[in-house]
Amino acid sequence: MLELEDRDLDEIKKCEVGNCDLKLSADMINRLRNEVNWAAPDHGARAMQLYRQMLTEYVVDYLKNGNKALLQYDNRKTPVRLADDHRMLLDGALFLDEISPEFGKYLRQFPGFELSGVENTVDWTKVDFGLKPILSITHTTSYTFQDNNIPQFLIATKGIYASRYIDSSLALILLIRESAGETSNAYLVFTNISRSNSLSGLFSGLKRSIVSSESEGRVRDMLVESKAKLQQVPTSPVSTSQTSESSILNGIGLKSIMMLALVLIAGMLVFFLFRRRIR
């Protein structure tokens, strides 16, 4: 269950539009100020319930209306429009339109463009990087398509909410298969881009140093774990003609890939983004 820590609730109690530690819209901030009786003994539980309710309403609205329903963060003096951010992320995504323009169109027009072979899931996760934890919500879209009669697989993981640090993010995972006689080879390509205006101001260098150190260690551990899981896959040759899409994905460990994408969104890109800023 999605839970905020006590220190998060303390921050929410002080939130104002343009001055809030958590990323929220102006409407969310005003609802927390007006609908929660902060003098009540159970104000923390009430605030947590309203926070969950607002995020649930947000996800339902997003699934119905797509990018135009994405939040505008109003917790700082300069608002951040996620719809604008994600438009730029998609336009800057590597290999997406070259390999599968129809999938790029689907992502840009979701949910208004229908495409067979697509599955969608929405997940939330909590990640701690040594400063304050991040609560994030991601929309993952998987797409199976054919290239020269060989099934290929694309995953797009889009960060539609993060409570701190990350404004927006987009991860793309491509599973490429090519025939090699009676067997086939598979290659996994991962790319991720993100945007953030956080970790600035007083002690920003120290904050970035902490985040970088924590992110690097956690991402390294995750990569080692994922590699070990992927290496458990049987190495016997598989006939291309006898291999289905589902068996391909099961063979390389789809769960491991999805876990890797979620962690890298919240960690690896933060690490590289902030390290690039330091230079």
pLDDT per position as a tens digit, 95-150 = 899 999 999 999 999 999 999 999 999 999 887 765 678 899 999 999 998 887 87
Are 176 and 45 in the same domain? no
Residues 263 and 157 in one domain: yes
Indicate the length of the chain as a whole number.
279
Residue where one domain finishes, among candidates 39, 66, 93 = 66
Predicted local confidence at residue 130, as pLDDT = 59
Has residue 86 been placed in a domain? no
Do residues 117 and 53 share a domain? no
Q: Does residue 190 form part of some domain? A: yes
Confidence of residue 176 (pLDDT cuts 50, 70, 90): confident
- Sequence-ordered list of residues with C-beta below 8 angstroms from that of 30, at least 6 positions apart, any chain: 17
**49 lies in the same domain as 158:** no
- Is 137 part of a structural domain of the chain? yes
pLDDT grade for 185, boundaries at 50, 70 and 90? confident
In a domain, 182, yes or no: yes
pLDDT of residue 71: 98
pLDDT above 70 covers a percentage of the chain that reads: 68
Same domain (yes/no): 136, 271: yes
Query: Which own/partner contact pairs does 100-103 have at CB distance under 8 Å and 24+ positions apart?
Result: 100/143, 100/145, 100/154, 102/145, 103/143, 103/145, 103/154, 103/156
- What is the helix (H) or strand (E) element at residue 175, kind and residue range? strand 168-180
C-alpha triplet 271, 122, 44: angle, nearest 5°: 80
- What local confidence, expressed as pLDDT, does residue 95 receive? 85
Residue 184 host element (H or E): strand 183-195
* pLDDT recorded at residue 188: 79
Which residues does 252 contact at the CB level (< 8 Å), separation at least 6? 175, 186, 188, 230, 233
Binned at pLDDT 50, 70 and 90, residue 233 comes out as very low
User: 262 and 151: one domain?
Assistant: yes
Amino acid identity of residue 201, one-letter, is G
To the nearest whole number, what is the mean pLDDT of the chain? Answer: 78
Quick one: 252 and 129 in the same domain? yes
State residue 101's pLDDT score. 95
Q: Which amino acid is at 73?
A: Y
The stretch 81-89 carries a mean pLDDT of: 96
Residue 217 has pLDDT above 80, yes or no: no
Give start and end residues of each alpha helix (H) in the chain. 6-13, 26-35, 43-65, 82-91, 96-99, 101-109, 204-230, 245-252, 254-266, 268-278
Q: What average pLDDT does the segment 215-226 reach?
A: 57
The pLDDT score that the predictor gives to residue 209 is: 54
Token pair in block for residue 123? 């997940």
In this prediction, residues 259-270 reach a mean pLDDT of 49
Domain that holds residue 108: 104-278
Give yes or no: residues 13 and 111 share one domain. Answer: no
Task: Please say which residue of 43, 66, 89 terminates a domain.
Answer: 66
Answer yes or no: is pLDDT of 177 > 90.
no
Contacts of 153 (CB under 8 A, 6+ apart): 142, 143, 144, 145, 174, 175, 245, 248, 249
Maximum C-alpha span of the chain: 72
**Predicted confidence (pLDDT) at residue 55 exceeds the cutoff of 80:** yes
Q: Give yes or no: residues 140 and 211 share one domain.
A: yes
Q: Is the pLDDT of residue 249 over 60?
A: no
The larger pLDDT score, comparing residue 74 to residue 226, is at 74
Q: Do 146 and 53 share a structural domain?
A: no
Q: How far apart are alpha carbons 155 and 271 in whole angstroms?
A: 22
pLDDT, one tens digit per residue, over 11-48 is 999 999 999 999 999 999 999 999 999 999 999 999 99
Q: How confident is the model at residue 202 (pLDDT cuts 50, 70, 90)?
A: very low
Let me know whether 33 and 160 are in one domain: no
According to the model, what pLDDT value does residue 244 have?
45
| Other CB atoms within 10 A of residue 273 CB | 22
Task: Report how many domains make up the chain.
Answer: 2
Residues 139 and 250 in one domain: yes
